[in-house]
Amino acid sequence: MQTAQCLRNVQAILHAAGSSLEKVVSATFILGEPGDYAGMNEEWARWFLKDPPARQGAKLPIQSRR
């Protein structure tokens, strides 16, 4: 799933910078398909078990989904 890979990438970048996911305070995500929200949310919950960061989400405009 793309969410898991995205979070692995972010985790690696944070680790390389001497930080971690536990220090994330906010995140923005953009979905191409609103139907993907449930799966993204489920994966998100696996990564942030305690005190998850604030989130802001958006749907990609239909003309951008080619």
pLDDT tens for the chain, 66 residues long, are 799 999 999 999 999 999 999 999 999 999 988 899 999 999 999 999 999 999 999 998 876 655
Domain ranges for the chain:
2-64
The span from the CA of 53 to the CA of 63, in Å, is 30
* CATH C-level class of 2-64: alpha beta
Does this model's pTM top 0.75? My answer is yes
> Tell me, what amino acid is at 60?
L
**What pLDDT sits at residue 47?**
97
Tokens of 10: 């972010």
SS3 8: helix
